Amino acid sequence: MYFYSYGESCVMTERNSAALDDTDIAILQLLQTNCKMSIQEISQEVGKGISAVHARIKALENAGVIRQYTALLDPTKLSRPTLAFVLIRVRYRAPGERGVLSQREFCKEIAQHPLVQDVHVLSGDYDVLLKIRAKDIEEINHFIVDFLREMPAVDRTLTMFAMDSYLESMELRKLSMPR
C-alpha cells in the first residue's frame, strides 16, 4: 500500500504496505511507547496537524500495520513470575492415528491454553517454541506432564526456565523506512 498525501491527510492504496515515511515511523514509535497518547499529543511530537495524524493512524490500522492496542501487564504482580520456554518436537504420525497430524492445528490448540503467551513454528531440531508464564515450577510441570505430553502430536519436549530477564518487549525497535 502506498501513502499518497493530499494536503495534510494521506490515503493508502493496495500496492505496498511497506511504503511508510518518517512521519509514519515517528507515529508508530510514539504509539509503541504509549498507545494512550492523544492524537493531539502525537501531532505536537511529529509536527503535523491533528487531522493528518488521525488520518495516518487510521490508514496504518486499516493496512494492518497497527494490529491492536494493548496494555502490558506485570506478570510478577499477577501471580505469574515463573517464565519458561518449551521446545517441542512434533510427531506427524501418531501411533494408532490415521493420516498426518496437522502442525497448524496442533499450534492453534496449544495457543488456547491460559499459561501460553507465545507459540512459534521453528526450523531445526525442534518444531515449536512456547513461551509460558506460570505462578511456579510446579504449575509448569503440570502443564507439560498433564497437558502437553498427553497430546498425540508431542514427540519430545525441552524446557528451559528463565533465571533472569533483561529485556522483554513487544516493541519493534529501531524502526526505519523500508527500502
Portions of the chain given CATH number 1.10.10.10: 3-62
User: Residue 106: is its pLDDT beyond 80?
Assistant: yes
Contacts of 85 (CB under 8 A, 6+ apart): 129, 130, 131, 132, 159, 160, 162
Q: Are strands 128-134 and 3-6 parallel, antiparallel or unpaired?
A: unpaired
Closest residue by Cα to residue 80 from 120, 115, 129: 115
Closest residue by Cα to residue 121 from 137, 108, 135: 108
pLDDT digits (tens, 9 = 90+) for 37-69: 999 999 999 999 999 999 999 999 999 999 999
**Which pLDDT band holds residue 102 (cuts at 50, 70, 90)?**
confident
Gyration radius of the chain's alpha carbons: 21
- CATH architecture, range 3-62: Orthogonal Bundle (1.10)
Strand (E) positions, 91-127? Answer: 116-121
Residues constituting the chain: 179
State the amino acid at position 134 in one-letter form.
A
Higher pLDDT, 40 or 169: 40
pLDDT digits (tens, 9 = 90+) for 134-165: 999 999 999 999 999 999 899 999 999 999 99
Portions of the chain given CATH number 3.30.70.920: 75-161
Fold of 75-161: Alpha-Beta Plaits (3.30.70)
Q: Average pLDDT over the chain, rounded to whole?
A: 87
Distances (CA, A) of 77 to 66, 133, 142: 28, 12, 22
**Which pLDDT band holds residue 19 (cuts at 50, 70, 90)?**
confident
Beta bridge partners of 9: 6
